[in-house]
Structure 1
């Protein structure tokens, strides 16, 4: 089956008889990360839901599930070790992990980091938890041998600094993959890997050990995040962006050139994408178009109309009229062309 969006599978225990749910969930997580012994006080009627988004050699998997205790024993490590780092961004609930004498507790917006080559025990709280999990091959993390392993057991904040950048990307990916194409999967995987590497390096205070290209990619991600946060500012110029990141304009231009972009085109595309979303939102149908233009950094409505027509082939008012008439006839519609698998199909796939 060929799809134009990111490859994605869905697994939910609710489609199975209650007696089979926990065993199926155990097998699914074993395929997603590595074999583990799982236990739960909800095993008799277990509720778990997982989406698996494939980004080349990287996997991102948003999930919500009941109380769970994960145990990866030395014997399981010897029997099967895919040599992957696992990160979980905790979105709801709480949990704790132990590696022998080392124990760490986690709260919402913390990252938990694990490594399949080490034994561990993880337990979640009594209430269901929601996470965004990531699996990355150890070999893909661009840090000296043995250095990255030192991140295991640390609690990394997803609320500030490099951790917040990574958390923002993962939450965005988990919330909506429909705007990405299948051809974006490998590129997104590299972006996630670079950010994970930068987060690890920051946690280890090992930034000097990062490869130059990883420094550059992490910097580009920070700059793009800055741009998206300041799209409403009509004075968002390359000079201001460069100054905010303590680099020269020429270096800023070079960073974007290496990604096949210009700074101006990136700002324009982000502004127009945000404006298009507003124009097609029925809740904002009474908001004047010139207000939407101003909201996204266009002081003159004429400049906004020309830029929008150049990129989208129609004017903002024409797009709004089309969308409102379509909504009136068809009702709200979401076009998601993703691969969906039932538990049975997912099992057969593996």
Structure 2
């Protein structure tokens, strides 16, 4: 397949992902509030992670995170099909571009790329709101919720169920981040905390960075969220045409950040995961990841853990070594 400079790119992607209940949740029999997904097939690769909020008010965020991931993956497929026409797209030939509301230029705001991505984010939010409202009205409080949720939040939930105009975003609140790659472009988006890490080869050396700008409103136990009233404005994103693709992208919830920090230790964790893939293959690497996450949670952050990764499988051994 060619891009505008008549260069040929052969991209063979694969993916792994895993998520687990955190040690603190295991000790109190609280459900895992993280959810993750990754897939690579038919020229479309994606990785998605959502972290449900831990506070009592958000007592169904485990369900909210699962809903948002499943809604996002279908919305992404539809979006890619819509924006791609005759092997071209709104991102065709575009340089690497980052967007946040705070730093946006007029040209970015008026671009077709921004308008199309805003349509995608709006679709995900609206579908999620419909899904959580339906779930709330059709599912009574569970035995665990009756025993473990503060009475004021149970009363608030029951009062809302009696109000046909009520919405249930806070009860199901969660974050969302995703990475998407086709043969001709890639893009990533994020609302909330956690880290999206890009692995690239620069001057024959592996380098890591975070292509989606960080949101300074995410600090300590505070985060932006799908459940915010201005969630659409809080999305950050980046994209690029076919001139440069990462060799791997890793998405991890904040349970991993709180264990490794924001820098070399976190990057070393992902480098070792990439090495495991190169050494033993996708299936065994996913098993290793599945076993490792609960152990990391136990000795470090105690939080739920989730990781999703897509990577270039064509030259993985050459790239790593």
Structure-1-length-normalised TM-score: 0.26
Taking structure 2 as the reference length, the TM-score comes to 0.27
Q: Which of these two proteins has the greater Rg computed from alpha carbons?
A: 1
Which structure is higher in RCO with an 8 Å CA cutoff and minimum separation 6?
Answer: 2
